[in-house]
Amino acid sequence: MSATSHPTIPRIVAAAALARTNRILPGLLASSLLLWMTGNTYADVTLPSIFSEHAVIQKADKVPVWGHAAANERVTVTLDQAKATTTAGADGKWSVSLNLASEGQGPFTLIVEGANKLVIGDVVIGEVWVCSGQSNMCVGLDDAVGGKEEIEHCDNKFLRQFTPDRGIYSFTPVENLPGRWLVAAKDTGWAYTAVGYFYGKKLQNELKVPVGLIKTCWGGTPSEAWTSTEAMDSVPELKQGKEKSITDYLNFQDYLTQRKAFAEKYQRQARPLPSNLDTYVSPNASTDGWKKITLPNSFSDIDLPNSGAVWLRKKITLLDREVNQSSWSALGNFCDNVTLFWNGHKVGGKDIDGEDEGFEIPKELTDNKDVTIAVRITCSGQEMGIHQGIFRFCAGNAQLKGEWLAKVEYEFPSLDDPVKAAAPKLPTFPQYKVSNVATTVFNGMIHPFIPYRIAGAIWYQGEWNAPRAYQYRTALPLLIQDWRHHWGQGDFPFYICQLPGFNMITQNPDESDWAELREAQSYTTQVVPNTGLAVLIDVGEAGNIHPRHKKEAGDRLALVALAQTYGQKVAHEGPTYDSMVVEGGKIRLHFKHTDGGLVAKTLTATYIPNTAHMEVTLPLVRNSPQSELEGFAICGDDRKWFWANAKIEGSDVVVWSEKVTKPMAVRYAWSTDPITNLYNGAGLPAGTFRTDSFPYTTVKNHY
């Protein structure tokens, strides 16, 4: 059964809510969303949302403008001195091309005339960049270090962002993604992608032209979800993975349907909320009779029922900066459904979906630092519990892992063995999220913008692909080529954020899928033309998958663009490994892009594992405490790695260890969260690299 014919999957699926890092703008109802995308007749001339007030249009000689009208309707498009006329086809689609190469910046008025007349004001001409990827691209400016201060002084009429009202995923290509252009200002800054904002701000300041950002990102998505069906089908192993991801998703949808029917048949549906609700959710309610437990956990492992309804409570304290600010709570993976209460107020509920999704906490509920979280979990089968999602089990900046209180509201009778055996079983490979299914995010979040003229794209993604890092050497180049093919604008620039450090610092040299992913990103820039890399190895956070130093990411991407796209003579690459030679018991590495000389940046005695908790610091335990440089490992022909000493000699680094008398290879920053301090004179860091060609540890892992 195909995805589009499956009874539980509509042609278009609009996300009911996005993570806090990709919050929804108010003002658009689901009905109007579907009207934009599924209407079959067009009485009036219409434009996709990307052509709307405050738009930034690329300065170029061939700029497409398109939309719908009545069949065979005559349509004229005017922007300042540029003008073009066409006739809509039998399907109502029309498109023109404007020559804007000699136009000024504006602002201008875009006029589209057919049976009706559209007047789009405050349109400027400049440089347009797509900002895409996972949640680290979605992270808002107010969540970045210094972001709130930036918003307070944000007033730039020539920096603008197209901001979707909702994220969309689809099994078929979508024509329009509803949204609006926002001019950078104090009241709009929160909606900006932080990486994109700092990228665009630096470009705008340097180029003195309008800069437009198209924000199209989705947390927790693999690159395959951002790649078209045609491209995925062109690589046999990815085609197989695409088909499996669809099958796994459809099987999970069938399981949900069967599970619901099972609950109804045996009268095990979730009951309404109890009449004495306050005794469960009020911050002042007595907790006598509540049991201390540890989460995340299966309830069977902590002596709680496997079916019925269980209440959970936990007290947390907000940081000062979180008070009177909207927040976010993620509860990992649960059972049939979950309902969340925040200081006695119902925030929302979710039916079974198995997803690591969360709840938006409105700022009117965060007026008190002391918070009591109450959660009701219900389950019809035999699998009750809360299981941590991939990265998130939190409320704001408070991690929820640890001690909770629990109380049973009701428990369903045990099932007879024959009934239990007949109960629906979770598929072996459940695909919980349709946004993780190949092609669905491309269809909903990229296709609507094609062929809008762009200068290029910036990309922050890869965390989700790390377990399959070797395959990313195929998947990422394929995605870039795929986008370029569909846009039809040649090899436009595509600049990549290399994954920063994450997780706890490694005590011993070891293999790392994140290091392999970083190498795959670097490899992509070597084999795909007009690409570049922003190294972020020094701005990661051990305790935060969303490191908050987004200015460094945006600025470093901008340096790449200024150098490679706009021809400015600026340093844009950190020290890059070039060659090696063995000198007795040492290895000499030669570097390019030293720009003023190699530098060993001073390492601090402590570090902050999560900048959301600036008050928490940990001692920095160096691996090579007597060495000028940190982050180097060395091995002999036995391939046993040891931390190495390293020192700078001109444009070279000499590496050695007393434990390796006949060295063979060197690695740098080869761990998930390495300690590093090699920079060039321009202040840019060296990225992950290795001199060996030992097999990838992820080579057998496939989508």
pLDDT digits (tens, 9 = 90+) for 169-186: 999 999 999 999 999 999
Distance in angstroms (rounded) separating the CA atoms of residues 645 and 97: 60
Of 661, 676, 694, nearest in space to 587 by CA: 661
Provide the b/e sequence for 587-600 (b: ≥16 CB within 10 Å). bbbebebbbeebbb
In the chain, what is the straight-line distance between the N-terminal and C-terminal CA atoms, in Å? Answer: 21
Distance in angstroms (rounded) separating the CA atoms of residues 301 and 322: 34
Distance in angstroms (rounded) separating the CA atoms of residues 502 and 412: 42
Displacement of CA 393 from its chain's centroid (Å): 17
Q: Which residues contact 524 (CB under 8 A, 6 or more apart)?
A: 473, 476, 477, 480, 496, 531
**Collapsing DSSP states into helix, strand and coil, what is residue 69?**
coil
Q: Which residues contact 280 (CB under 8 A, 6 or more apart)?
A: 274, 311, 313, 341, 374, 376, 407, 409
Q: What are phi and psi of 476, to 5 degrees?
A: -70, -50
Q: Which helix (H) or strand (E) holds 397?
A: none
Q: Are strands 117-133 and 456-460 parallel, antiparallel or unpaired?
A: parallel
pLDDT of residue 351: 72
pLDDT of residue 324: 83
Q: Which residues contact 416 (CB under 8 A, 6 or more apart)?
A: none
pLDDT of residue 17: 33
Distance in angstroms (rounded) separating the CA atoms of residues 310 and 399: 21
Burial class, 40, CB count within 10 angstroms (exposed 0-12 / middle 13-18 / buried 19+): exposed
Of 378, 315, 377, nearest in space to 342 by CA: 315
pLDDT of residue 675: 95
pLDDT of residue 392: 63
Q: How far is CA 653 from CA 572, 586, 640, 683, in A?
A: 21, 10, 21, 17
**Collapsing DSSP states into helix, strand and coil, what is residue 439?**
coil
Whether residue 107 has a cis bond before it, omega within 30° of 0: yes
Evaluated on CA atoms 64, 66, 71, 77, the torsion sign reads negative
Q: Which residues contact 448 (CB under 8 A, 6 or more apart)?
A: 48, 50, 168, 174, 175, 176, 177
pLDDT of residue 272: 94
**Around 376, how many Cα atoms within 13 Å sit in the side-chain half-sphere?**
26
Distance in angstroms (rounded) separating the CA atoms of residues 168 and 184: 24
Range 268-414: architecture per CATH: Sandwich (2.60)
pLDDT of residue 34: 38
Of how many residues is the chain composed? 703
Task: Report whether 691 contacts 684 (CB < 8 A).
Answer: no
Collect the ranges in the chain with pLDDT lower than 50.
8, 10-41, 356, 390-391
Distance in angstroms (rounded) separating the CA atoms of residues 336 and 359: 16
In 506-640, beta strands by DSSP E: 531-534, 576-583, 586-592, 598-600, 606-607, 618-619, 632-635
Distance in angstroms (rounded) separating the CA atoms of residues 383 and 392: 20
DSSP state of 96: E
Q: According to DSSP H, which parts of 266-319 are helical?
A: 278-281
Q: Which residues contact 50 (CB under 8 A, 6 or more apart)?
A: 162, 177, 179, 214, 448, 449, 452
Nearest-5° angle of CA 576, CA 580, CA 581?
160
pLDDT of residue 398: 84
Which region holds residue 119: left if phi is over 0, alpha if psi is between -120 and 50, else beta? beta
pLDDT of residue 32: 33
Q: Are strands 82-87 and 641-643 parallel, antiparallel or unpaired?
A: unpaired
Domain map (residue ranges) of the chain = 12-232+438-534, 268-414, 575-686
pLDDT of residue 382: 67
pLDDT of residue 442: 98
Distance in angstroms (rounded) separating the CA atoms of residues 307 and 268: 9
Of 594, 591, 568, nearest in space to 580 by CA: 591
Packing angle of the helix pair 469-487, 236-265 (nearest 10 deg): 100
